[in-house]
A and B are shown apart, each in its own frame.
Chain A
Amino acid sequence: GQNIDQPTEMTATEGAIVQINCTYQTSGFNGLFWYQQHAGEAPTFLSYNVLDGLEEKGRFSSFLSRSKGYSYLLLKELQMKDSASYLCAAVKAAGNKLTFGGGTRVLVKP
């Protein structure tokens, strides 16, 4: 089965760093996505990890440990516009469908 857990809400200060953790128990797991979703808008793609390790894209980085069933999204130099929900999603090797966690709402304060 699939069970994906991430914190419900996090608060951080502008300019700071925030790390959003995601744990999963997905049979046949083959990759992990992170999406950003602003209120009332569609989710937009941030990152996709298949192999263990850290992938960096500007202010955003994503890490995956397949053996631990664990990923995190790291947001650096936080800006007010980063206030959004961040969705962790696992993809199975077969079926091509994503299973999402409940999302983490990040609030950036001045």
Chain B
Amino acid sequence: DVKVTQSSRYLVKRTGEKVFLECVQDMDHENMFWYRQDPGLGLRLIYFSYDVKMKEKGDIPEGYSVSREKKERFSLILESASTNQTSMYLCASSLADPLSGNTIYFGEGSWLTVV
């Protein structure tokens, strides 16, 4: 079974802190994604990566950055956390071509509260 593991399930951070959310997948997937999920807004794409050291902005990249130094690991970085970044963050991965029916697999989610 594909496994996407997010390092922290629940975090509480202070405004202005630097926050790292780590994600590791064990299926040699090319694509990795970071989404945030908020009530009434659904999942919104922050950043995605289709290869090591490659990244592309999603729909809401402001206030975030990412790092993909190894194929299996995709990190989301909040340089200076703010209260409006309190949310549930979901990491996902997929093979290079989801059009063939390969699905996107999600991690369990990381609940971040910024106080």
Interface residues of A (CB under 8 A from B): 8, 30-31, 33, 40-45, 48, 50, 87, 89, 91, 93, 95-103
Q: List 24 A-B contacts (CB under 8 A).
A: A30-B99, A33-B103, A41-B108, A42-B107, A42-B108, A43-B106, A44-B106, A48-B101, A50-B99, A87-B42, A89-B43, A91-B99, A96-B48, A96-B96, A96-B97, A96-B98, A97-B48, A98-B45, A98-B98, A99-B45, A100-B42, A100-B43, A102-B42, A103-B43
Q: Are B58 and A8 in contact (CB under 8 A)?
A: no
CA A8 – CA B41 in complex, angstroms? 10
CA A103 – CA B40 in complex, angstroms? 8
Tally chain B residues at the interface, Cβ within 8 Å: 29
CA A99 – CA B41 in complex, angstroms? 12
The reply to whether the CB of B104 lies closer than 8 angstroms to some CB of chain A is yes
User: Which of B31, B104, B106 counts the most A-chain CB atoms under 10 A from its CB?
Assistant: B104
Determine the residue in chain A with the shortest Cβ distance to B6. A42
With A30-B99, A42-B90, A97-B33 given, name 19 new contacts (CB 8 A): A41-B109, A42-B4, A42-B108, A43-B43, A48-B101, A50-B101, A91-B98, A96-B31, A96-B94, A97-B58, A98-B45, A98-B104, A99-B59, A100-B35, A100-B42, A100-B43, A101-B42, A103-B42, A103-B43
In whole Å, how far is B8's beta carbon from the nearest beta carbon of chain A?
15
Q: Are A102 and B99 in contact (CB under 8 A)?
A: no
In whole Å, how far is A107's beta carbon from the nearest beta carbon of chain B?
16
Q: Are A87 and B43 in contact (CB under 8 A)?
A: yes
The reply to whether the CB of B50 lies closer than 8 angstroms to some CB of chain A is yes
Contacts of B40 in A (CB 8 A): 8, 102
Contacts of B35 in A (CB 8 A): 100
Determine the residue in chain A with the shortest Cβ distance to B106. A42
Contacts of A103 in B (CB 8 A): 42-43
Determine the residue in chain A with the shortest Cβ distance to B41. A102
